Structure 1
């Protein structure tokens, strides 16, 4: 095994950037994984994803554009105004760094020093230093450290260092791409990806999976266990188009219908008095919900536990749940105390995944629910999701109607079978959601990733007239177009859209996107942002690539799409899948 120098690594990144083939991206990465040292394999995984740590660790680099420009100014000897002008003209901080900085003596060597060839580890450690520096004088240290790193690298390296520092890598590599590459590197094909993905779903640390695979093989990977303070990927529910299909899909005699909430999915990790909260995107949101932390300590009567539930805005005076949009005002770094009072929350629990050293993932749903009921002292701040267990669909429909009158989204129907396990990161027929939107002709709203935009005309001149939106094809790890979205936006949303999407904009079709020539937009975006969209029905389309059938030259499209809201809590890979859209189409 060898240490890879940073120059070779960035040449591979450039090759990845210049392809939109998922298979080729995985092939390039796999060739790297075959020979890389144990000390660096995890770091390569993180950097290829534009990170410097697992997503759940509260380590965020993402320097402001102003700080990145200041570092380029120091490294190049150019004025800040010159760097600012170049950034405005080029639009890519990496290209700016590559263009403006030339080889020169490094006056900032004390801030970033290394011996021998510049390695991946050197750059990774430098970026971690920038992220961890705080306190008096920290801004100067961050800026000069980055400037030193930029001087020491070559032109291509500078491009990727600057992008990493600003958090705008834009390679298009996803978690599944990395897992496919690891499987190919160590086993010659993608056949072991499923085992690697399971380990990733219960650890949420792709670097850890890679390192264990390299040191202990697939046996070590399969022995990875769930651990406190490493979030588990959430289990997701399937959908049906007809209410009667619930009984056909769920094979157990009894079905547990639970309240479905329009809030934020939050996984609680409690280790004594230490409490961590993780969002559906695996982000540490502990600091945003100090009241929930206090209530977990007070009302959860077990020392070490992992719980699954949903935080809801709650009007205690009128005993009503608030909407998701209200709750999202709690997602902030500042004025947390003020908004805690303005928007109180109620945490609704529906699952337990771990108790005092024991995993509950392979316990069936009835066992998990029974255990959950022993762990929590219910209060007005924390409660268990109400439910109705029945084999009668009429009784379940009655419960659904009750949920709607309480301003809830609907219900989640759960199997009570012996094999109703918690499938981390999976979307399984043991859970089926039924929402109030399903009563309309189209069975649900869709959550779609934005991959492009069309220039506005007339009243929308100067902004975007419509967005090109895509579903996620899990099997192929690609994004397939399903909608051209131009209605439902307010004038303010339209005016702000170029700025809102600026950090995702790229100059070519994003990696893993599948787009016909007829739907090519004026602007491209790497999949980063997700929107919720409502339409009238799913139809066949000769121009959209969702579930594309080459022999028929047809895919599927959403007819009369309308923007509902941004889905900040969802990653692009958590968008509605091609498989789900096919099921919706068949069920219309």
Structure 2
């Protein structure tokens, strides 16, 4: 065990006197002891007790060579037992003492030795906190390069909750240094070690392998180390057993430099054999204190546990460093400019073969929000493919592919594209593309489900191949395009790219100007089973790492009203990691299979809010992921054996699990059904295992989610229709439409009430079919089609023009009934109309056309139109495939209640 020059202790009797003020230390208060030689016994030590303030006061009067408390972790015994308030006080006194000593050193007169004029160093310019410029070369033995100072800064960053304050701590140290007289350390090395997750090395060492090697180095029990690892921090485990090791005890004081640690890590990264790794780890442990080795292990794991990312560290180096790093992802290029003093402009452009941080999208919950976030009012709506994001770099004949996380993409997914990219871009020598790769069927052209790109899954699909769907171009033949708006970047793609069928294709993208067009696009995409849409302002530039695009998915709309849900039982749990170490934080959910009387796994759900409470409430049995100890009632695959299983699943709680969609994943035993992106939305205290979702019900839910999709009222309000009609949000105030078309949220409740009361269920079968008929506006028809549910709603509105009918509350609790009025004629059924923006009362005319059975098409479907209303502004342009007619054709058809011949109004 290491010895300490000072100790901390809470006085138990109140008898000891302070050596400075001679007053007794109060019982129960903190006192600090200085370990000194015992004059009455050779070789023994004794403790001289002080009040906390008194000891630091004595330090201020002491000689420079007197031992002082500089780092409580290193110098103070029992530091871990000191309460938080006393810790803060001591740390404050340490900092205050350092300032006093620095001032004292600066004002103490020294004997002046005459020097030659040439030897006098010129005055150094002041270093700005935002422009760090160290003096190369640096002394590896300088305090600014000590590993101890690195640990001290990391501890200060970890203890600071504010991100701005974390950045300020970095800025202050890298500008002032440890001596407050200017930073004299190796800036490049400091930044690389502060960002081990960015500047990555491959060590081939996971947590359990690390413990195996250190158990041999320390000669400690591996099983005990593995048990301690359940607390979630391998570095703490190594530190604990290092302190207890007799074979290799830690050194008393840290003398490591940053260069020592970096060289050891560089050596370790090239080793793959256990013997070689053990030699390197033992060598660094011999020079380390327990806290040194803890930080070394965290560097190996790539997580310093300081809760600060690249932005917070780089902002402390230079105000523009992080933005430049986002663009190039080359930390050396950014640091080269800062170290050389060229900090006037850190604007970086994309570099070939170096990944660019991808631009991202935030969740969009409604059409209104989409247009609110689009300053220009015009956007691109792009199909969101359910594949893998790929950034392709081409420099001559050299190709590189990077994933969303900037890692190289597995070769079997992308290697063949080097044959087709030159065909798709015949004039491109240098190129950076943003794209999505997914498997598509070569016969139908339809995309295959997510996950089929795997090397084994791909072999199962004979009539499929990987296809690259290109949606952006960041660099073309030496020209950086990231600062150009997407409308120009898309123009470059369209001019230079030639599609290679089923290999390199354009992503499907349409221009959207009106909310109703966006609703139509959302409905069409979701009904086709695609993942969703990505929305981009046509004037937006490419901003690496920024979430300035929008993504529309089924489970985002109307606060998740369209998401897939199931009520599942808690079957097991795993230990968490990091801050959740030592507690159950990931839960295995499942359902009951009545056929075989076993519980089947469905998904791993997460619940962060109630973790502390659940540790006590859940009745679990620890099995430590041992397949042999899995109880008979649980049907689970080897890869999902948890740390804990429920003592009795029939007494376990039921949770509602919500996700993006039901999927098939063979690792789960509930017929392979799983939930993608699962989250716990609520605890179902009103349900037990019998009323929870069973396997047969889960199969029905899976099938239903794939076969039908009710989009009524789930894509936001309609601005032109004043919030009424197809796509309008469900209102709390009853409207005339509520008598014929219940909202999706209330439909099941209404159906139950009707089934319970047979006298209230008798309806005309024809009216009932109209009430239950789905909205089919998103599909294309060449012949006449039936009147949709949405148009029936519009006709009801026109026959009930009285405002009181939409606000009356008399019928709120009455049984569901068919409309009392006759429905409007559907003489416009099968008519597909394109309406320009400049006609008078466009919104009203649109409602009339839909009410009488017609359909108003968005601009991107104009080629399907049967009639195109002529625009007043560009009357010479024939937009759309249908007959071009005057506006009067539509109004006369409405007034006369019949479809007027187009020839009489043709332009």
Asked if these proteins are the same fold (TM beyond 0.5), I'd say: yes
**468, 482, 502: which is aligned to 1:380?**
502
Q: Matched residues in 1 for 2:438 and 2:171: separation? A: 43
TM-score by length of 2: 0.43
**325, 329, 349: which is aligned to 1:225?**
349
Residues 250 and 415 in structure 1, CA contact (< 8 A), matched pair in contact too: yes
Aligned pairs (5 A) from 1:230-309: 230-252=354-376, 254-287=378-411, 289-291=413-415, 293-295=417-419, 297-301=421-425, 302-309=428-435
Residues 366 and 416 in structure 1, CA contact (< 8 A), matched pair in contact too: yes
Give the 3-state SS of the residue equivalent to 1:221 in structure 2.
coil
Instruction: Determine the structure 2 residue equivalent to 1:131.
Output: 269
The C-alpha deviation readout for 1:543-587, integer Å capped at 9, x for no partner, is: xxxxxxxxxxxxxxxxxxxxx9xxxxxxxxxxxxxxxxxxxxxx9
Aligned residues: 449
**404, 412, 433: which is aligned to 2:526?**
404
Q: Matched residues in 2 for 1:414 and 1:320: separation? A: 24
Instruction: Determine the structure 2 residue equivalent to 1:67.
Output: 209
**299, 310, 335: which is aligned to 1:164?**
299
Q: Matched residues in 1 for 2:609 and 2:174: separation? A: 33
Give the 3-state SS of the residue equivalent to 2:292 in structure 1.
helix
Alpha carbons of 1:121 and 1:299: their partners in 2 closer, same or farther (altered >3 Å)? Answer: farther
Instruction: Determine the structure 2 residue equivalent to 1:483.
Output: none
**35, 38, 50: which is aligned to 2:196?**
50
**522, 542, 545: which is aligned to 1:425?**
545
Please state if 1:354 is matched with 2:475.
yes
Alpha carbons of 1:298 and 1:86: their partners in 2 closer, same or farther (altered >3 Å)? Answer: same
Q: Matched residues in 1 for 2:352 and 2:363: separation? A: 31
Deviation of 1:202 after TM superposition, in Å, equals: 0.2
Deviation of 1:295 after TM superposition, in Å, equals: 5.0
Aligned pairs (5 A) from 1:569-580: none
The C-alpha deviation readout for 1:267-309, integer Å capped at 9, x for no partner, is: 1112223222222222222435244544554544222111111
**4, 9, 15: which is aligned to 2:156?**
15
Instruction: Determine the structure 2 residue equivalent to 1:524.
Output: none
Residues 327 and 349 in structure 2, CA contact (< 8 A), matched pair in contact too: yes
Q: After the TM superposition, which of the residue ranges 341-350 and 382-391 deviates more from structure 2?
A: 341-350
Residues 365 and 558 in structure 2, CA contact (< 8 A), matched pair in contact too: no
Structure number with bigger Rg: 2
Q: Matched residues in 2 for 1:30 and 1:163: separation? A: 23
**504, 511, 514: which is aligned to 1:389?**
511
Residues 269 and 276 in structure 1, CA contact (< 8 A), matched pair in contact too: yes
**194, 199, 212: which is aligned to 2:337?**
212
Deviation of 1:458 after TM superposition, in Å, equals: 12
Residues 104 and 151 in structure 1, CA contact (< 8 A), matched pair in contact too: no
Residues 257 and 389 in structure 1, CA contact (< 8 A), matched pair in contact too: yes
Q: Matched residues in 1 for 2:362 and 2:278: separation? A: 47
Q: Matched residues in 2 for 1:365 and 1:272: separation? A: 25
What is the alpha-carbon root mean square deviation over aligned residues? Answer: 4.4
Please state if 1:142 is matched with 2:277.
yes
Please state if 1:180 is matched with 2:291.
no
Deviation of 1:8 after TM superposition, in Å, equals: 2.1
Alpha carbons of 1:310 and 1:466: their partners in 2 closer, same or farther (altered >3 Å)? Answer: closer
Q: Matched residues in 1 for 2:265 and 2:211: separation? A: 16
Gaps of at least 5 residues in structure 1 are 107-115, 184-191, 331-335, 471-485, 500-529, 537-563, 565-586
Residues 168 and 316 in structure 2, CA contact (< 8 A), matched pair in contact too: yes
Work out which structure has the larger RCO, using CA pairs closer than 8 Å and 6 or more positions apart in sequence: 1
Instruction: Determine the structure 2 residue equivalent to 1:480.
Output: none
Deviation of 1:442 after TM superposition, in Å, equals: 3.8
Which structure shows the bigger proportion of residues in helix conformation? 1
Deviation of 1:415 after TM superposition, in Å, equals: 2.5
Give the 3-state SS of the residue equivalent to 1:218 in structure 2.
coil
Deviation of 1:68 after TM superposition, in Å, equals: 1.7
Q: Matched residues in 2 for 1:443 and 1:43: separation? A: 50
Please state if 1:95 is matched with 2:220.
no
Q: Matched residues in 2 for 1:168 and 1:456: separation? A: 20
Deviation of 1:245 after TM superposition, in Å, equals: 4.4
Residues 276 and 284 in structure 1, CA contact (< 8 A), matched pair in contact too: yes
The C-alpha deviation readout for 1:25-79, integer Å capped at 9, x for no partner, is: 334333332257798323323322333x535xxx423512343234424543x15
Q: Matched residues in 1 for 2:206 and 2:274: separation? A: 11
Residues 388 and 438 in structure 2, CA contact (< 8 A), matched pair in contact too: yes
Q: After the TM superposition, which of the residue ranges 1-10 and 355-364 deviates more from structure 2?
A: 1-10
Aligned pairs (5 A) from 1:475-490: none
Give the 3-state SS of the residue equivalent to 2:555 in structure 1.
helix
Q: Matched residues in 1 for 2:227 and 2:413: separation? A: 41
The C-alpha deviation readout for 1:462-485, integer Å capped at 9, x for no partner, is: x99952179xxxxxxxxxxxxxxx
Aligned pairs (5 A) from 1:411-490: 411-417=533-539, 420-428=540-548, 431-442=549-560, 452=580, 455=584, 467-468=607-608
Give the 3-state SS of the residue equivalent to 1:320 in structure 2.
coil
Residues 260 and 408 in structure 1, CA contact (< 8 A), matched pair in contact too: yes
Instruction: Determine the structure 2 residue equivalent to 1:320.
Output: 446
Give the 3-state SS of the residue equivalent to 2:525 in structure 1.
helix
Give the 3-state SS of the residue equivalent to 1:226 in structure 2.
coil
Please state if 1:119 is matched with 2:257.
yes
Residues 75 and 101 in structure 1, CA contact (< 8 A), matched pair in contact too: no
Q: Matched residues in 2 for 1:466 and 1:438: separation? A: 18
Instruction: Determine the structure 1 residue equivalent to 2:487.
Output: 366
Give the 3-state SS of the residue equivalent to 2:317 in structure 1.
helix
Q: Matched residues in 1 for 2:214 and 2:526: separation? A: 55
Alpha carbons of 1:491 and 1:349: their partners in 2 closer, same or farther (altered >3 Å)? Answer: farther
